[in-house]
Chains A and B, each alone.
Chain A
Amino acid sequence: MKTFKLGGVHPEENKLSAGAAIEILPLPEKVFIPVSQSLGAPSKLIVEKGAVVKTGQLIAKGEAFISANVHSSVSGKVSRIEEVTDTSGYRRTAVVIDVEGDEWDEQIDCSKEVKAEITHSREEIVRKISEMGVVGLGGATFPSHVKLMVPEGKKAENLLINGVECEPYLTSDHRLMLERSREMLIGIQILMKGLDVKKAYIGIEKNKPDAIDHLEKLVAEYPGIEVVPLKVKYPQGGEKQLIKAITGREVPSGKLPIEVGCVVNNVGTALAVYEAVQKNKPLVERVVTVTGKSLEKPSNLLVRIGTPVSKLIEFAGGLPADTGKVINGGPMMGKALTSLEVPVVKGTSGLLIMPEKESRRMPVVNCIRCARCISVCPMGLEPVLLAQLSENQMFETAEKERILDCIECGSCHFTCPAGRPLLDYLRLGKNKVGIIIRNRGKK
């Protein structure tokens, strides 16, 4: 069974909602659509207060090279444009829309019929993906069309589809692979055409045997696509780890996957690509796992972008009394929320409700230099050293020790017997080193 070699941990899987079919969340009364939802430059708002919008209508335009369009996820009236608390706890500009009915833009094909034939050219595919605001749905929200524009002198050989879902608890990709498999496979074919590659691999960890079986049966009809079962190990869903696991290639430090001829996309992104290209449907909804040990009904919900997370929790049985933490994403890399009125954005793959007794960190004691953080680091770094350097503000040395290679998977903190906040300091250090490098560029 394939996997990546260096480091890795085995957190408890806790896939509570793996058996729950995707349900459609009823429309909320109001949605809050943040203007900036993807990596890169913020998008430019093009609607005003009072405007009447349809579902799928463009409301903010991505103008920079790395930025993405944002569409209205509901039909109704723009009641306000104001700052709302987003997943970071800070207030950022968002469009507030009062929902009235559900009228979709005329361009969008809302039928259930699966459209298999790919008629668009490469350029059209890239343009459509860009227009429809498709971003990486695995969590990083990197604009998808940028990934398809292979830089001059480089050649993509393999398309890797990330169906690993190595984060504990989360099951949205798993359900997608089971329930929307044909559409997803067509999406993969579109991506293959867009990249001009002949080979695509879907990496799935073997804790999802039903998905592996199901897709292995189907891929026979889709030439060039292969299902690769992978050993269960966190963080296999990391781009570089997945490439290593499937192709055996290692992306050099500071370089993009295209350096080794690979492009990685999430299964959710493949589905969004299908909808964007074949159905003209912008990215206005996504599957979100709502889960937690004390939650009444862990579920997978199809949710419109901008829906407050409180609505999702309500649907899944309401917020349990012992809640101590609500996480946007999985337990290893997710972000703890400060409020439940935060809207679902394109990068929200799950909502995890942690009971009070599990939401606090263990007490921090002295480092005993056990080197467990070093042995689990999937990038071969020395988290203990980097955290110390960062804590003592020795950022130049940290840069030499390759702090920027850190993928923030959290394995180091997960495994640290002394409970030291290694990743916190690594993040801080990465941040500062990034600033130092940018300033160096200016001089």
Chain B
Amino acid sequence: MDNTLLFAVISLSAIGVISAIILYFVAQKFRVIEDPRIDIVAELLPGANCGGCGLAGCRAFAEEVVRTEDLSKLNCPVSSSEAMKQIAAAMGLEAAEKDPLIAVVRCNGSRANAPQKVIYDSAGSCAFAHSLSSGESGCPNGCLGYGDCVVSCKFDAIYIDAVTGLPVVSDEHCVACGACVTACPRSIIELRSKGKKDRRIYVSCVNTEKGGPAKKNCSVACIGCGKCVKECPYEAITLVNNLAYIDYNKCRLCRKCEPVCPTGAILETNFPPRKEKPAEPASVADTAEA
């Protein structure tokens, strides 16, 4: 009895010791010498591997930071500026102050605004629908609503609204990694400045068709009339290819352009209601006329 016990203990210990020795030498032989700072930086990153920085993932970002020792060209759009400062501190560098961005869906072609003209009956993929035809509303630039952006989002920050059929970005969850921007075959989604108190003004249309055909498909399309361009006191609005675009770096959120738009293509978010003119050039009214 005693012998058995003793034998078991001794043999097990011997196996343990031998394994440890082997493992030690193997570890020595195959050791990869790595800058310890890579681990430190990687720790500070979100670890979602979203690719928003343009590199293969968070580890790759950390390696790049350590290799170049330069943060001016690298930015993790997902991390808060606080986290970026910490990374900079760990590297002994200065972090550039970055304006927080958010994904903005520039299409308001809901079923009510852009009525259905044909039935699409194929694979539920925007990319395929885009290559097949102009979509159910007929607008060649509008949102198709099959959710390629939703699939691409690693942060659950975007979903398709059941009523409008359009994607909605959650202010809270969106980290502006840009995955949806690349996923959208029609380049509808744009990363724009998040704005103070989440206040933003943007042209919610990317249709480059002339006014007539654009309006035929969608009541809230930008028809390229240029009224907003004239109205803007800061020259923030440009008109290219029958489409107005508000430069968020120049825009000061004065809200002058929004009421002049004849189709209601300019949208404001999170502003307090207007006092003097409560009657919005609402899309509902336009649909009724059309």
Contact = CB atoms under 8 A, between A and B. Distances in A.
B133 A424 contact: no
Contacts of A336: 133
Contacts of A428: 123, 125, 127-128, 131
B103 to A, nearest CB: 19
B118 interface: yes
B128 A424 contact: yes
A421 B123 contact: yes
Interface residues of A, number: 19
A83 B242 CA distance: 15
Nearest to B119: A360
Interface in B69-84: none
A338 interface: yes
A142 interface: no
Interface in B112-166: 117-119, 121-123, 125, 127-128, 131-135, 138, 140
Contacts of A361: 121-122
Interface of B: 117-119, 121-123, 125, 127-128, 131-135, 138, 140, 209, 213
A431 B126 CA distance: 13
Contacts of B119: 360
Contacts of A425: 123, 125, 128
Contacts of B213: 83, 91
A196 interface: no
A338 B123 contact: no
16 contacts: A83-B209, A83-B213, A85-B134, A88-B133, A89-B118, A89-B135, A89-B140, A90-B133, A91-B134, A91-B140, A338-B134, A361-B122, A424-B122, A428-B127, A431-B131, A432-B127
Contacts, number: 52
A391 interface: yes
Interface string A405-443: 000000000000000010011011001100000000000
A133 B208 CA distance: 32
A91 B209 contact: yes
Contacts of B117: 338
A183 B76 CA distance: 69
Interface of A: 83, 85, 88-91, 336, 338, 359-361, 391, 421, 424-425, 427-428, 431-432
A391 B121 contact: no
A425 B132 CA distance: 12
A425 B128 CA distance: 7
A424 to B, nearest CB: 4
Which label, helix, strand, loop or mixed, suits the secondary structure of the A interface? mixed
Given A90-B133, A338-B117, 10 more contacts: A89-B138, A89-B140, A91-B134, A338-B118, A391-B125, A424-B128, A424-B132, A425-B125, A427-B128, A428-B125
A432 B130 CA distance: 13
Contacts of B123: 421, 424-425, 428
Contacts of B128: 424-425, 427-428
Most buried by A among B119, B132, B209: B132
A95 to B, nearest CB: 18
Nearest to A89: B133
A68 to B, nearest CB: 23
Contacts of B133: 88-90, 336, 338
Given A424-B128, A428-B127, A428-B128, A90 B134 contact: yes
Given A91-B209, A338-B117, A427 B131 contact: yes
Contacts of A91: 134, 140, 209, 213
B126 to A, nearest CB: 10
A427 B129 CA distance: 11
B49 to A, nearest CB: 15
Which 4 residue pairs across A and B have the least CB separation, nearest first? A89-B133, A424-B123, A421-B123, A89-B134
Contacts of A424: 122-123, 125, 128, 132
B120 to A, nearest CB: 10
A425 B117 CA distance: 24
Nearest to B209: A91
Contacts of A90: 133-134, 140
A434 B138 CA distance: 26
Contacts of B118: 89, 338
A431 B128 CA distance: 9
Given A91-B209, A338-B133, A338-B138, A360 B121 contact: yes
A88 B140 CA distance: 11
A40 B121 CA distance: 29
